[in-house]
Structure 1
Amino acid sequence: MIGFFVDDNAEDRIRISRLLEQDDLKIDPQFEPIAPTDLRDALLEKAPDLVALDFRLDDEDLDDNNYKGGALAQILREAVLETPGQDFPIILVSTEENIKQIYSIDRTSHDLFDQKYMKGRLNDKLYRATCHREVLSLANGYKAIASAIGKGQLDLNTLLDLDTDELEIVPLHGLATDVKDGNSVTHVVAGILLRQIIGRAGPLLAEKDIAAHLGLANDGKQIAQVMEYLDQLGMSYTGVFADGWPRVWRHRMDEWASELFGSPPSSLSGEERATKLSEATGFDLKPAVSTWTGKHDELFAFACSVCENPTERRNSLALYDKYLVPYLERRRVCFDCVIRGRLADLPNFTVDDSDVDIVDDIFSEKIKRA
């Protein structure tokens, strides 16, 4: 497969292309920003499997680069609306400064990119490996969606790799309608899956969410152990984009955990859950610790959307949630992140109006750490 990275800085274009490239996905740095429609035509002629864009395409003194990555992405998206098989993922690869200070404000462009990655972190082997896994999954996932469209099989059974009987018990009210409303446009369907299924806790759980639901410390090594154990029990998601974003089906894990614990997991403290899980798995598992109270015996239920540590409902606040649908978990932030001012670094996260009065109580110490 072949991808292209577009950047107005020639040195960055070559360097980042090399960092993004992998055995199954070559990245060609040949395109600099020229007139948008000319660049669109040149890219489409190459039939790309993926296109990566810097956000600031207008930094260098070139002839026709008076536009940003969002404008080019929009033109590319429009060009493939009626040809699902020619559609491809578009990712943003830019500096942390540009992503935080410009892209985060330009909300009209957010839905145009499938994922965003920071140039400065690509030198880190672990970050780069994650990036490689995800972008390859995007390229393969787009092909799987286009194939389903071509065969007239654009349904949840095919996309999520669930049979009809199991699909009936998974709370996905409205997802089938959203997919149908995608009008067989590959990138629209991909966006729905990435935003509403892969990127959010709900029917599927990522590592941080599994830690919270099982009351375990969000320690990479121990959660990787648990993920592998759950995979062996047949709980892993195997649908579109599964190879890029390892996930576990929540309904499968909850059924197993309820049988193991003898009651719903959320009714037990983190310490109780960790003890029973350690006995069942043979692993020496550490319980979660509340970031607010410092205790193991809290009723952990969510991963904080900011620090990603397990948190409890009573010591967390609801965040405003533009994309909240019935089958998604509400985003929440722990009191500790609020008092430390960490929300200021995430302009897309704001406390929901229903909980905003509690913020004053935290800062005035009406609500104190236990």
Structure 2
Amino acid sequence: MLQKEFRHLGELLNYNYENLDNRIFSKFLSTREKLPAHEYASTILKDLLYIDGPIVGEKIVAARLGLNISESPAWSTLLEEIFLKAKYTGIFNTGWDKWWMESINQVFLELTGSNLSSLDAKERVSLLIEKTGLKELKLSEIIDGCRSYRYWTICKSYNKPVDSRECFRAYTKKEPKPWQDHSYISKPGAIDRVGFDEGLDVHSVDYERYRLTIENLKDEGTK
């Protein structure tokens, strides 16, 4: 029975998911009874497609490659040709343009000979231009007040790529599961409270660090 479940999940995702977190599909693989179709659909939607994690959206792909989408005319060519095999083609793919992050990493490694996460954005973009010949790719410039080009997420205040180490975790109504990505607010965005009037806020796990940052700034201003 378990072998059938493995095969069925692979067919639904159109992907060899052996390297994914086992907890994602644990309820299907731990029972000898076949669960109804809506259970598969609900898990794939809620645990893989709604929130970035093993499968990511266009903005996260661009951030991790270091690119400014709006200023990169070659962006669509890069996605549709160079990173085509990373595209999510499983069930519900017509409703979401998504990419397997593991495959993005693999394509980048095969193309450049370097690990994506070991480089900063300037190095990533430079290698992409060199190896693809796509000169119309533009580096996403750093958020004013930040220092790191090691982008890996999106700042919710400015909707721009940022290094998560220069961020506070953002409050979300539903806590991400272990394999899902957290949302972040860059320190400059949080300090200036950009988007806070629209409901954005710092997560409780980072609130004390955020409070101390504000207090330190006030102390420096009084000196």
In structure 1, the partner of 2:128 is 277
The unaligned stretches of length 5 or more in structure 1 are: 1-151
In structure 1, the partner of 2:11 is 158
What per-residue deviation string (whole Å, max 9, x for no partner) do you get for residues 5-51 of structure 1? xxxxxxxxxxxxxxxxxxxxxxxxxxxxxxxxxxxxxxxxxxxxxxx
Q: 1:1-370 residue pairs with structure 2 within 5 A?
A: 155-162=8-15, 166-169=16-19, 171-178=20-27, 183-184=35-36, 186=38, 188-219=39-70, 221-232=73-84, 234-283=85-134, 284-293=136-145, 298-320=149-171, 322-338=174-190, 339-346=192-199, 350-364=201-215, 366=217
Indicate the SS of the match to 1:190. Answer: helix
How many residue pairs match? The answer is: 209
Offset of residue 238 of structure 1: 0.6
Alpha-carbon separation, structure 1, partners of 2:146 and 2:77: 24
Offset of residue 201 of structure 1: 1.7
Kindly indicate whether the alpha-carbon contact (under 8 Å) linking 2:112 and 2:131 is maintained by their aligned counterparts in 1.
no
What per-residue deviation string (whole Å, max 9, x for no partner) do you get for residues 211-234 of structure 1? 1111112427543332212444x2
Note the aligned Cα RMSD (angstroms).
3.2
The unaligned stretches of length 5 or more in structure 2 are: none
Identical counterparts, % of pairs: 23
Alpha-carbon separation, structure 2, partners of 1:161 and 1:229: 19
- What TM-score does the superposition give when structure 1 sets the normalisation length? 0.49
Structure 1 runs, 4 residues or longer, greater than 6 Å off: none
Kindly indicate whether the alpha-carbon contact (under 8 Å) linking 1:306 and 1:333 is maintained by their aligned counterparts in 2.
yes
Alpha-carbon separation, structure 2, partners of 1:184 and 1:343: 42
Alpha-carbon separation, structure 2, partners of 1:273 and 1:354: 31
Indicate the SS of the match to 2:185. Answer: strand
Alpha-carbon separation, structure 2, partners of 1:223 and 1:340: 31
Larger radius of gyration: 1
What per-residue deviation string (whole Å, max 9, x for no partner) do you get for residues 260-305 of structure 1? 444322222211111111112222211122224366x611111234
Kindly indicate whether the alpha-carbon contact (under 8 Å) linking 1:173 and 1:327 is maintained by their aligned counterparts in 2.
no
Instruction: Report which structure shows greater RCO (CA 8 Å, sep ≥6).
Output: 2
Offset of residue 326 of structure 1: 2.6
Structure 1, 204-213 or 219-228: larger mean CA deviation: 219-228
